[in-house]
Structure 1
Amino acid sequence: MILKFIYTLFIGILLALFVGFGIAAFYEEPKYPEPPISLRYSSPVYPETKESTAASRLKADQIKQDKLEKDFQKKISVYNRNVSVIALTAAIIYLIVSLTLTKHLMLLSDGLLLGGVFTLLYGIGRGFGSNDSKFQFIMVTIGLVISLVLGYIKFIKPKPER
């Protein structure tokens, strides 16, 4: 009995990792912009001093870096939203397959179910990185609906008499 539980847990974790690493392998995350050397190794510029050429160059580099970081934030938000949708789709597929295998392969069905739940949690977590509260709400709502329907089908729904 304990071996079956461990196997089910193992399958669930591997399925979630499969989706996470698959997304990372085939859909690259935007790279954070490297700050120029002038911003990494510079002395502080005090506002009361007269702006020198070096200070104005430093200020220009900082403005450019701020723009690059803002662009990166937009890209990473879109990326996180897309990853969230991909993970949610994979979770739904796992859950559907799990529910169709219930009668035939109970052990694999439970592993797929757990993998779907872990993948759903991963997708919701990545959705929080989208910086879009409406999208986050939609992801959590979908997760809630899936969990309620799944719980009903798996644990409450009466089995037909044979």
Structure 2
Amino acid sequence: MDNNVMKIVYTFFLGALLALFVGLGIQSFYPGPEMPEPTAGAEFVPGGSTPTGEQREEMEENDRQWQQWQQWQEEQQSYSRNVAVVALGASVVLLGLSLVLEKRNRVLTNGVMLGGLFTLIYAIGRSFASSETTMTFVAVSVGLAVVLLLGHRRFFQDRPAEKTPEEARREQTGV
């Protein structure tokens, strides 16, 4: 297989593994709230009739379960917000690391950058799950700023031209 193809595969694989590392790390050390156990619903009581004692107990149980379900949804939204903040921070760290490694190894740099971008997408998705528009706006704003910065540095900033082997030899020998 061509070496360039392997570099591309490695870059994507590294990016995906970094994003999984962040997501699974968050899930392992900060697990989400447990979902309440669903049970069978209460029987329908026709309008105007008085529920029996058993039907009333079932209705009260359904009310308790509904309240548990609503509480779980609120906890889940708060959890998603917290996960989005942590993932957003991790994505910024990864993207910053890709800038630091930029001159050392192009393949590694691209993999770390891709991992940071995948993690950023995960953070934005979790912010949408939090149902907090402010958090979503912050996540998208950070994402936009980081992507614009990376794009500018990677694709539009003038870089010194690579020296030919002849120029490098002349520079070393001073001739």
TM-score, structure 2 as length reference: 0.85
2:46 is aligned to 46
Partners of 2:123 and 2:41 in 1: CA distance: 39
How far off is 1:77 after superposition? 0.7
How far off is 1:147 after superposition? 0.8
User: 2:27 aligned to 8, 24, 28, which one?
Assistant: 24
2:95 is aligned to 95
How far off is 1:133 after superposition? 1.4
Q: Secondary structure at the match of 2:94?
A: helix
2:142 is aligned to 142
Partners of 1:45 and 1:28 in 2: CA distance: 40
Partners of 1:133 and 1:45 in 2: CA distance: 40
Partners of 1:2 and 1:48 in 2: CA distance: 73
Q: Secondary structure at the match of 1:46?
A: coil
- CA distance 1:22–1:77, change in 2 (3 Å): same
Q: How does 1:101-112 map to 2 (within 5 A)?
A: 101-112=101-112
User: 1:13 aligned to 12, 16, 35, which one?
Assistant: 16
Identity %: 37
- Structure 2: stretches of 5+ with no match in the other structure: 164-175
Instruction: Return the letter of the residue paired with 1:124.
Output: I
How far off is 1:62 after superposition? 1.4
1:14-41 C-alpha deviation (Å, 9 max, x unpaired):
0000011111111011011113x4xx16
Tell me, yes or no, if structure 1 residue 2 matches structure 2 residue 5.
yes
Instruction: Return the letter of the residue paired with 2:107.
Output: L
| 2:42–2:59 contact (8 Å) kept in structure 1 | no
Partners of 2:70 and 2:125 in 1: CA distance: 22
How far off is 1:42 after superposition? 4.6
1:50-86 C-alpha deviation (Å, 9 max, x unpaired):
2110111111111111111111111111100011111
How far off is 1:97 after superposition? 0.7
Q: How does 1:121-160 map to 2 (within 5 A)?
A: 121-160=121-160
How far off is 1:141 after superposition? 1.3
2:74 is aligned to 74
Q: Secondary structure at the match of 1:83?
A: helix
How far off is 1:47 after superposition? 2.8
Instruction: Return the letter of the residue paired with 1:51.
Output: P
Q: Secondary structure at the match of 1:95?
A: helix
| 2:16–2:115 contact (8 Å) kept in structure 1 | yes
- Structure 1: stretches of 5+ with no match in the other structure: none
Partners of 2:158 and 2:91 in 1: CA distance: 25
Q: How does 1:107-122 map to 2 (within 5 A)?
A: 107-122=107-122
Q: Which has the larger radius of gyration?
A: 2
